[in-house]
């Protein structure tokens, strides 16, 4: 029976019984029928049903927000209003599952505030909470494939959801101790939403500050309890440490581990502070404790037989802990003696149950407890090892999960394990064992998923199982790239497992394999013409059809495989050659183009012209993420001189990269500029073509950017560009950059001063009712903590509350504080950015006045002299030497104080080693010129006095550079320079350089330093 729209809408506003009947009729009418959903949207139904949710009563047990207890016992009976609320949510879920086209009318109808309200997410009825979360999850899934014209994307959706009030509802859902099946389904959905949306650092900070990370850590602990992985005697030790209450009950069902691990991995990412929050979470400490087995503690805060906190960057691996029983034997841990049972095989039979007062499974490690106690000889041998220098048992447990679980659980466990390893919470020796135990599993997982996807064919239909395989193919290269970056050992392990062949095959497939024909849009009874659409309000208009799942998958595969190939090409020349031999350079460079080639588009237009079929989905423009990943891959490949001179030249890498320097997105500009750094080096055959195309002007423009990363990379590229360039090109570069701006780059603390000014303005306005609106380019994204919409400092979980009576949690907070300060203090980041720019700016000057070092350039010496004079004339010699002297002095930092503290102390930052090296080598180049320039250097008495203090530097390069400088200063060109040379040598001796050189030549630990010191000493003595 056809429903009359106006009658239904009238019933929705009538008495409760009629409203419920209307909602049920609507639900039965639209379920599974996309055309009827479209019709009801165009009739304006959505605002009416959303209005019902907004009018729903708050939870009945709440008297006020502060006094409300989280989630009281679920009620068995529904009032009419609650029944209508549930029916409304189920109806909205049907619309949310209809696809991306329905996002626009749902968003315009304000469905998000309605389903995120307390009346939905904090209802006493688990069914209502679950229904609201399902609507939110379906809305999130639809947003993934939304078109560019959609009113909301994943980032803006996360901005909407991850605010204080809504996060509090999420925390309450995750924090309940006893869960029914509906409650566990809620946990899984919340974790899935967080895993999908937590993409930005501000979202990660919000989730940590609101207690979500601690709540998710408790859920991880619950899965460990259910699996029997609680360490023996953990409950006894937890009771002593007053954290037994943090040991959770096991979940009712076994599903959802992949979503919880994925959510935690998304939150912690590669942040040491956030990973520390996970490792030091009370539930993790309670079930995965470290014990002090030496009997004597080196620290009063770690009594014998009490729980010992894991440390950041553990340096001295001890004997294998009991959790190593879960892992195969590897040669990277010390072998044990006696009858130590650390590597005894684990029985495949179920563990024997021990008498217990609760229903938790007994530990899988319980049967090995007797043999695990170390003998006295091991205790004596370990007496000199700090008992507190340990890693978390969470790490071997995650490795065990990678090796024993399947599908998505393997991937998310590996992702979280990667975060712990990359942030320094694992022993360095884990690098070897992970290369043996984890890398092959990931490669095998990727290969198996690829095979199963091929077996499914190239169909439009994406089943749940197929989607799971596609997700594995899309995400595994990303996890692999993170894991092997900066690890030559794991890169070697990946290559030996066939990673290069698999990744190259996937990259080619993501580009070459034709897409299936996409079905045309369903017929609409009102029509979808432009005029008809304009006549309807926004909540009655369907949006554009979203991107097909296969296209989204291919785009993701292209991005992640490019990143993984780039990671494999980081160090070894053989690996770069193997990548080039797979004939993928053309695919990598093709990914740099912003849009598909005209020929490919023309071929598809011809193929489908006049056909009744719809065109396959063809991207109009590559996403930024793919372009940035391609830039990264090219940058790593260009580290090879051979590849730079062959494959990259043959396929014309310079042209698309030069175009990307003008890309509207600053992140793409930054990635392209970093890549160009290698293409403008002296040995690059693309250098001249880039110069002819105008790269110098573009790089100088980028060096004036407000973006500190872009300024840094542009200056880095210019430093390479002027190295061994002609004097005309050097002068042109200096003129284009601007001498005043160059001085500003190497002298001013641009980021530090901007932050200091922004903070000062904010504090002056703190008592004003109108907040100070800071310029986006000035504050560089660092707003005052109290003005942020992210609850970075709100502590709402038990573990974040004051813990003065719990020793272990006090120690954990002490461990976390320096990590938080190092990571979240914007002043530190600003100063780090400034120092990096100063270093490259000084390096630019060094190369600017350096010679060509080429036998083909007979005028190199004259050009060097002319360039030094040109620089001194433009900057002024007194100004230049004053700048160099200032770089050797300690810097007084702005006294940033925390809000709420009693004051602040001025800190002094010593000169950085790389800055010192750059300053000395500038002086080395000046002294390598003509006698007149050497006299200029020797006249800088104060500067030389500061240099004399650096002979005891711990950095080898500083000591070598000082030897070079003395060699050049005491060099005699000819007999006319004899008197001046003797004077310079005498001045150096008077300043104490002679004794310093004698000390270096006799007692320096480095042979190279000793030999160079002896050479400089001989020349100095020979001339005074």
Give the pLDDT confidence score for residue 319 in this predicted structure. 65
Using CA atoms, how far residue 1012 sits from 685, 971, 1000, in Å, is: 35, 14, 9
Region 734-743: what's the mean pLDDT?
95
Tens digits of residue pLDDT in 239-252: 888 899 999 999 88
Question: Rounded distance, CA 755 to CA 775, Å?
Answer: 11
- Asked if residue 637 has pLDDT above 80, the reply is yes
- Asked if residue 189 has pLDDT above 60, the reply is yes
Give the pLDDT confidence score for residue 252 in this predicted structure. 83
3-state secondary structure of 290: strand
- Asked if residue 532 has pLDDT above 60, the reply is no
Q: Determine how many CB atoms are found less than 10 A away from the CB of residue 893.
A: 17
Give the pLDDT confidence score for residue 522 in this predicted structure. 52
Higher pLDDT, 456 or 344: 456
What is the band of 730 on the pLDDT scale with cuts at 50, 70, 90?
very high
Region 705-732: what's the mean pLDDT?
95
Contact at 8 Å (CB) between 211 and 218?
A: no
Contact at 8 Å (CB) between 900 and 961?
A: no
Tens digits of residue pLDDT in 423-467: 999 988 889 999 999 999 999 999 999 999 988 876 667 788 889
What is the band of 824 on the pLDDT scale with cuts at 50, 70, 90?
confident
Tens digits of residue pLDDT in 101-154: 999 999 999 999 999 999 999 999 999 999 999 999 999 999 999 988 889 999
Question: Rounded distance, CA 743 to CA 886, Å?
Answer: 12
- Asked if residue 31 has pLDDT above 70, the reply is yes
Question: Rounded distance, CA 492 to CA 499, Å?
Answer: 10
Region 19-28: what's the mean pLDDT?
92
- Asked if residue 374 has pLDDT above 90, the reply is no
Region 297-319: what's the mean pLDDT?
66
- Cα dihedral sign, 532-535-540-544: positive
- Asked if residue 390 has pLDDT above 80, the reply is yes
The 3-state secondary structure of 14-81, one letter per residue: CCHHHHHHHHHHHHHHHCCCHHHHHHHHHCCHHHHHHHHHHCCCCCCCCCCCCCCCCCCCCCCCCCHH
Region 159-182: what's the mean pLDDT?
91
Report the percentage of the chain scoring pLDDT > 90. 60
Tens digits of residue pLDDT in 483-524: 999 999 999 999 999 999 999 999 999 998 876 655 545 545
Give the pLDDT confidence score for residue 499 in this predicted structure. 97
Give the pLDDT confidence score for residue 363 in this predicted structure. 52
Tens digits of residue pLDDT in 602-613: 334 433 333 434
Contact at 8 Å (CB) between 54 and 117?
A: yes
* 8-state DSSP, 200: S
Q: Are strands 908-909 and 891-892 parallel, antiparallel or unpaired?
A: antiparallel
Element (H, E) at 107: helix 103-108
Tens digits of residue pLDDT in 988-1015: 999 999 999 999 999 889 999 999 999 9
Give the pLDDT confidence score for residue 758 in this predicted structure. 55
Region 923-947: what's the mean pLDDT?
94
Which residues are 908's β-sheet partners? 892
Region 942-949: what's the mean pLDDT?
94
Give the pLDDT confidence score for residue 377 in this predicted structure. 36
Question: Rounded distance, CA 97 to CA 34, Å?
Answer: 10
Contact at 8 Å (CB) between 276 and 208?
A: no
What is the band of 316 on the pLDDT scale with cuts at 50, 70, 90?
low
- Cα dihedral sign, 253-254-256-260: positive
Work out the widest C-alpha separation in the chain, in whole angstroms. Answer: 113
Element (H, E) at 174: helix 164-175
- Asked if residue 383 has pLDDT above 80, the reply is no
Give the pLDDT confidence score for residue 148 in this predicted structure. 83
Using CA atoms, how far residue 348 sits from 260, 367, 399, in Å, is: 27, 12, 18
Contact at 8 Å (CB) between 797 and 209?
A: no
Give the pLDDT confidence score for residue 961 in this predicted structure. 95
What is the band of 299 on the pLDDT scale with cuts at 50, 70, 90?
very low
Lowest mean pLDDT among 12-21, 155-164, 353-362, 433-442: 353-362
Tens digits of residue pLDDT in 566-602: 999 999 999 999 999 999 999 999 999 876 554 344 3
Question: Rounded distance, CA 350 to CA 498, Å?
Answer: 36
What is the band of 902 on the pLDDT scale with cuts at 50, 70, 90?
very low
- Please, what are the domains in the chain? 1-152 (1.25.10.10), 154-347+358-392+406-416 (no CATH), 433-517+545-607+616-693 (1.25.10.10), 876-897+905-1024 (1.25.10.10)
Contact at 8 Å (CB) between 287 and 234?
A: yes
Give the pLDDT confidence score for residue 322 in this predicted structure. 82
Contact at 8 Å (CB) between 579 and 569?
A: yes
The 3-state secondary structure of 956-995, one letter per residue: HHHHHHHHHHHHHHCCCCCHHHHHHHHHHHHHHHHCCHHH
Average pLDDT score, the chain? 82
Element (H, E) at 160: helix 154-161
Give the pLDDT confidence score for residue 597 in this predicted structure. 52
Question: Rounded distance, CA 262 to CA 196, Å?
Answer: 9
Which residues are 909's β-sheet partners? 891
Give the pLDDT confidence score for residue 622 in this predicted structure. 75
């Amino acid at each position: 029976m056809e429903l009359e729209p106006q009658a239904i809408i009238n019933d929705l506003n009538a008495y409760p019984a009629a409203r419920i009947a209307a909602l049920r009729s609507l639900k039965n009418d639209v379920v599974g029928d996309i055309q009827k959903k479209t019709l009801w949207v165009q009739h304006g139904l959505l605002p009416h049903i959303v209005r019902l949710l907004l009018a729903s009563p708050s939870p009945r047990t709440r008297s006020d927000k502060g006094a409300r207890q989280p989630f009281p016992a679920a009620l068995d009976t529904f009032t009419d209003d609650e029944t209508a609320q549930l029916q409304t949510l189920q109806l909205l879920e049907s619309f949310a599952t209809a696809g991306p086209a329905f996002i626009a009318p749902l968003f315009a109808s304000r469905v998000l505030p309605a389903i995120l309200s307390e009346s939905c997410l904090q209802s006493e009825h688990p069914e209502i909470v679950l229904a609201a979360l399902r609507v939110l999850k379906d809305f999130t899934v639809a947003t993934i494939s939304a078109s560019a014209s959609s009113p909301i994307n994943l980032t803006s959706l996360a901005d909407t959801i991850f605010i204080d009030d809504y996060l509090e509802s999420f925390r309450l859902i995750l924090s309940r101790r006893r869960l029914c099946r509906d409650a566990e389904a809620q946990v899984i959905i919340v974790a899935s939403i967080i895993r999908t949306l937590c993409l930005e650092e501000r979202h990660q900070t919000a989730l940590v500050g609101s207690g979500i990370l601690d709540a998710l850590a408790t859920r991880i602990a619950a899965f460990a309890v259910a699996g029997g992985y609680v360490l023996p005697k953990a409950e006894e030790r937890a009771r002593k440490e007053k954290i037994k209450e943090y040991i959770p009950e096991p979940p009712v069902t076994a599903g959802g581990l992949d979503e919880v691990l994925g959510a935690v991995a998304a939150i912690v990412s590669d942040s040491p502070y956030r990973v520390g929050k996970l490792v030091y979470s009370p539930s993790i400490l309670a079930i995965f404790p470290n014990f002090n087995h030496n009997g004597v503690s080196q620290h009063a805060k770690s009594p014998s037989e009490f729980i010992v906190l894991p440390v950041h960057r553990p340096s001295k691996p001890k004997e294998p802990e009991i959790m190593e029983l879960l892992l195969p034997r590897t040669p990277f841990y010390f072998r044990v003696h006696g009858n130590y049972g650390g590597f005894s095989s684990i029985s495949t039979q179920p563990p024997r149950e021990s008498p217990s007062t609760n229903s938790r499974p007994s530990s899988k490690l319980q049967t090995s407890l007797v043999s695990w106690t170390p003998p006295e000889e091991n205790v004596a041998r370990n007496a000199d090892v700090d008992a507190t220098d340990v890693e978390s048992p969470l790490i071997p447990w995650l490795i065990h999960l990678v090796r024993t679980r399947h599908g998505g659980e393997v991937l998310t466990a590996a992702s979280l394990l990667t975060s712990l390893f990359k942030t320094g919470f694992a022993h360095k020796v884990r690098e070897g064992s992970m290369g043996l135990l984890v890398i092959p599993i990931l490669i095998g997982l990727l290969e198996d998923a690829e095979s199963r996807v091929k077996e499914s064919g190239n169909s439009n239909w994406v089943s749940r199982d197929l989607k799971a395989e596609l997700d594995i193919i899309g995400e595994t290269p990303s996890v692999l790239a993170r894991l092997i970056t900066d690890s030559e050992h794991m890169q070697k392990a990946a290559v030996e497992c066939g990673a290069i062949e698999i990744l190259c095959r996937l990259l080619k497939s993501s580009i070459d394999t034709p897409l299936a024909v996409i079905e045309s849009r369903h017929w609409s009874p009102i029509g979808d013409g432009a005029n008809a659409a304009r006549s309807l309000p926004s909540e009655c208009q369907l949006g554009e059809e979203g991107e097909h799942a296969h296209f989204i998958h291919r785009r993701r595969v292209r991005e992640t495989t490019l990143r993984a190939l780039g990671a494999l090409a980081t160090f070894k020349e053989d690996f770069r050659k193997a990548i080039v031999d797979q004939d993928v350079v053309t695919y990598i460079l093709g990914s740099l183009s912003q849009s598909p080639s005209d020929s490919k588009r023309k071929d598809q237009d011809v193929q489908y012209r006049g056909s009744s079929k719809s065109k396959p989905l063809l991207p109009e423009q590559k996403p930024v993420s793919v372009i940035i990943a391609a830039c990264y891959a090219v940058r790593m490949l260009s580290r090879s001189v051979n590849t730079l001179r062959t494959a990259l030249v043959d396929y014309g890498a310079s042209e698309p990269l030069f175009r990307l320097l003008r890309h509207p997105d600053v992140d793409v500009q930054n990635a392209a500029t970093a890549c160009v750094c290698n293409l403008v080096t002296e040995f690059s055959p693309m250098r001249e073509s880039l110069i002819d195309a105008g790269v110098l002007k573009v790089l100088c423009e980028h060096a004036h950017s407000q973006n500190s990363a872009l300024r840094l990379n542009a200056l880095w590229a210019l430093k390479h560009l002027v190295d061994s360039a002609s004097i005309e090109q050097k002068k042109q570069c200096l003129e284009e950059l601007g001498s005043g701006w160059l001085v500003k780059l190497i002298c001013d603390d641009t980021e530090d001063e901007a932050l200091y000014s922004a903070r000062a303005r904010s504090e002056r306005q703190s008592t004003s009712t109108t907040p100070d609106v800071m310029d986006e380019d000035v504050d560089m994204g660092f707003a005052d903590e109290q003005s942020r919409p992210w609850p970075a400092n709100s502590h709402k979980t038990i573990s974040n509350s004051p813990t003065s009576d719990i020793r272990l949690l006090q120690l954990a907070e002490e461990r976390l504080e320096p990590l938080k300060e190092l990571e979240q203090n914007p002043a530190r980041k600003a100063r780090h950015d400034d120092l990096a720019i100063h270093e490259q700016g000084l390096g630019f000057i060094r190369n600017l006045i350096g010679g060509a070092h080429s036998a083909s350039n007979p005028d190199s010496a004259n050009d060097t002299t002319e360039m030094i004079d040109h620089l001194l004339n433009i900057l002024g010699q007194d100004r230049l030497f004053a700048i160099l002297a200032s770089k050797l002095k300690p810097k007084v930092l702005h006294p940033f104080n925390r809000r709420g503290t009693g004051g602040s102390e001025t800190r002094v930052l010593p000169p950085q080693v790389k800055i010192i090296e750059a300053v000395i080598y500038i002086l080395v180049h000046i002294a390598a010129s003509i006698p007149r320039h050497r006299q200029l250097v020797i006249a800088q008495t104060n500067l030389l006095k500061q240099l004399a203090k650096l002979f005891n530097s711990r950095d080898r390069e500083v000591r070598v550079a000082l030897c070079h400088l003395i060699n050049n200063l005491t060099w005699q060109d000819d007999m006319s320079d004899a008197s001046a040379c003797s004077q310079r040598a005498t001045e150096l001796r008077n300043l104490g350089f002679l004794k310093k050189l004698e000390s270096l030549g006799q007692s320096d630990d480095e042979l190279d330093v000793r030999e160079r010191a002896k050479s400089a000493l001989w020349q100095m003595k020979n001339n005074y």
